[in-house]
Amino acid sequence: METWPTAAEIADAVAQGRTSATAVTDAALSRIEQQNGVLNAFTAVTAARARAKAREVDAARAAGKPLGPLAGVPFAVKNLFDVAGTSTLAGSKINREREPASADSPLITRLESAGAILVGALNMGEYAYDFTGENVHDGPSRNPHDTGRMTGGSSGGSGGAVAGGLVPLSLGSDTNGSIRVPSSFCGLFGLKPTYGRLTRARTFPFVASLDHLGPLARSTRDLALAYDAMQGPDAEDPVCTTRASESALPTLGSGIGGLRVVVAGGYFERGAGAEALSALATVAKALGAEQRIEIPEAARARAAAFIITTTEGGALHMDRLRTNADDFDPATRDRLISGLMIPASLVVKAQKFRRLYREQVLKLFEHHDAILAPATPMVAPRLGQQTMMLEGAEVPLRANIGIYTQPISFIGLPVVCVPVPLQPLPIGVQIIAAPWREDVALRIAHYLETAHVAKATRPPL
Amino acid sequence: MSEIDNQALEVYIRTAATALGIPLEEAWIPSIRTNLAISLRLAATVAEFELPDESEPAPVFEA
């Protein structure tokens, strides 16, 4: 089997007997061995476990048992997901001393229940406080479209592994943009579901108020397959919704008839580079989205997200900052220490503002079904790049990559990031829907994919 | 930030680190100060937003 099939194509081939889960798994492990030296996407490869699981899938088929919708599909997870028997690194040096996880993250269990096969854990920015995909302990994950460039972060390996064809599906986390930024820089489809939609149990946290988990893939069908397989309540995560699962796959191909799609203007266009604006215009035109709206107080929302992030992050790591400060990436350490020093009064204000902002933005969805916005202001920066140009001024790169993603995840709206295949580098556009309407964002993304406006292109590796 | 502001911020950083029991090395302070200055500038934009006294924070605790 060639190395670029989607998860859906693999599952179909396995179900039809055109290939076996074992053959697919062996091929994935071989690609990882060949390419990971360049891409640095994987920090652990679970070969024995993967082969054992593949044999189970093949045995089930041989016995005539029904196979799951992801039968034989190799996938990998950001290394903040618990994988039984290994320490959950969360991109850090410090966590290498942690006790091995006693059980898998439920999202891994749910994907495996659908027949998917875990092949490893993926590189990430330290403790997820990152937009670059660089990591001082493990080295940077590298962008398959140009290995001298960033994958974006913090789910850097999750982007590199899928864009590089090592696996068709990965899981990442997104607190301020960490699924959407790598999707944009690596040219992938990424889904950040509604806050609370997917259980976060048995993953290493960053900012409890804002943490989300979700899939990255090369097709919208694969996003929907994975998303549907992962839904469901979980008492282990107090934020996880008790709503019934709402499958996205049945309506994926329903088209965009009747959907009211608009473009976020103002804040979301200021500072955007030529590629970001070009991609946005292309997507808007394909959808017939002519109206521009203003998301009120977006800049303040981004500021409030920044404050909640740095303070909750600082609090999470306070003990480690007391005892192991030298073992952090210095850049992470200094941001976390700074976060510890923000007065509590300002954090309370930020959480109160969050509720008012949410009320204002939800009013927009009374008249619109989806809002388009750039995912990142620019295409993938070069590795090591420290600054960027924003509205004519040179500003720090790290803090500003997420200016368009932060105001959205701040209130937990579901987003599909779609890749627009510009040359030489792709860039993403956010399709933002009302809470719990992942199906709407996925429908629109699928329409764009079918129209060849959004496409995960194969890099020249 | 002006030089005086930087000095004031560094005094605050040293004092807060002592109060929180965080060991600091001198070499870290400029970077922490830069981060803190950015955070405080952003926090000020949130703090200046007029909130009604009755406004509730986003997370709601359920007993």
Residue B1 has pLDDT above 70, yes or no: no
- Indicate the average pLDDT of chain B: 90
Number of domains chain A is built from = 1
Span A435-445, mean pLDDT?
A: 98
**Residue A249's pLDDT is what?**
98
| Contact list, B36 vs chain A (CB under 8 Å) | 338, 341-342
List pLDDT tens digits, range A221-251.
999 999 999 999 999 999 999 999 999 999 9
Q: Which two tokens stand for residue A450?
A: 């079918």
Of chain A residues 179-218, which have a CB less than 8 A from chain B? 209
List pLDDT tens digits, range A169-179.
999 999 999 99
Query: Is it true that the peptide bond before A178 is cis, omega within 30 degrees of 0?
Result: no
Span A389-393, mean pLDDT?
A: 84
Which structural domain range is residue A312 located in? 7-450
Span A64-89, mean pLDDT?
A: 98
DSSP B1-55: --HHHHHHHHHHHHHHHHHHT----GGGHHHHHHHHHHHHHHHHHHHTS---TTP
In a domain, A460, yes or no: no
Residue A345 has pLDDT above 60, yes or no: yes
Q: Which two tokens stand for residue A45?
A: 């490869």
Span A23-45, mean pLDDT?
A: 98
Number of Cβ pairs < 8 A linking chain A and chain B: 98
Among A178, A238, A248, which residue's Cα sits nearest to residue A214?
Answer: A178
Contact A85/B at CB under 8 A:
no
| Contact list, B55 vs chain A (CB under 8 Å) | 352, 355-356
In a domain, B54, yes or no: no
Q: Which two tokens stand for residue A25?
A: 């798994």
Is A338 catalytic? The answer is no
Please, which pLDDT band fits residue A1 given cuts at 50, 70 and 90?
Answer: very low
Residue A394 has pLDDT above 70, yes or no: yes
Enter the pTM of the model.
0.97
In a domain, B53, yes or no: no
In a domain, B63, yes or no: no
CA-based nearest distance B31→chain A, Å: 6
List pLDDT tens digits, range B36-53.
999 999 999 999 999 999
Catalytic residue among A20, A154, A155, A183: A154
In a domain, A455, yes or no: no
Integer angstrom CA distances of residue A184 from A149, A218, A238, A410, A441: 13, 12, 30, 19, 16
Strand partners, A343: none
Residue A324 contacts residue A190 (beta carbons within 8 Å) = no
| Contact list, A331 vs chain B (CB under 8 Å) | 31
- The chain A residue lying nearest B39, using CA atoms, is A307
Catalytic residue among A178, A184, A209, A219: A178
Span A359-366, mean pLDDT?
A: 98
Please, which pLDDT band fits residue B2 given cuts at 50, 70 and 90?
Answer: very low
CA-based nearest distance A292→chain B, Å: 25
Orientation of helix A330-340 relative to helix B29-47, angle to 10°: 50
Integer angstrom CA distances of residue A392 from A261, A366, A382, A386, B45: 30, 36, 19, 16, 21
Is A173 catalytic? The answer is no
Going across the sheet that includes A117-122, the strands are A42-45, A117-122, A74-78, A169-174, A212-217, A189-192, A415-420, A427-433, A370-374, A261-264, A292-293
DSSP-derived letter for residue A325 is G
Coil, strand or helix at A442: helix
Of chain A residues 394-423, which have a CB less than 8 A from chain B? 399
The answer to whether the Cβ–Cβ distance between A342 and B23 falls below 8 Å is no
List pLDDT tens digits, range A196-205.
999 999 999 9
List pLDDT tens digits, range B27-39.
999 999 999 999 9
Span A266-280, mean pLDDT?
A: 95
- The chain B residue lying nearest A335, using CA atoms, is B35
In a domain, A336, yes or no: yes
Residue A2 has pLDDT above 70, yes or no: no
Sign of CA dihedral A178, A313, A140, A89: negative
In a domain, B59, yes or no: no
The answer to whether the Cβ–Cβ distance between A337 and B55 falls below 8 Å is no
Span A111-140, mean pLDDT?
A: 98
Phi, psi at A42, each rounded to 5°: -95, 135
Number of domains chain B is built from = 1
Q: Which residues contact A121 (CB under 8 A, 6 or more apart)?
A: A42, A43, A44, A46, A76, A77, A78, A79, A81, A83, A86, A89
The answer to whether the Cβ–Cβ distance between A330 and B45 falls below 8 Å is no
CA-based nearest distance A341→chain B, Å: 6
Span A156-183, mean pLDDT?
A: 98
Span A425-430, mean pLDDT?
A: 98
Is A78 catalytic? The answer is yes
Q: Which of B6, B18, B42 is the best mutation test for A, with the most CBs of A within 10 A?
A: B42
**Residue A460's pLDDT is what?**
87
Q: Which two tokens stand for residue A329?
A: 């990436």
Query: Is it true that the peptide bond before A424 is cis, omega within 30 degrees of 0?
Result: yes
Integer angstrom CA distances of residue A402 from A153, A177, A377, A381, A436: 10, 6, 8, 13, 23
pLDDT greater at residue A271 or residue A311? A311
Which structural domain range is residue B26 located in? 3-47
CA distance A397 to A98: 32
CA-based nearest distance B9→chain A, Å: 11
Span A429-440, mean pLDDT?
A: 98
Among A320, A308, A95, which residue's Cα sits nearest to residue B21?
Answer: A320
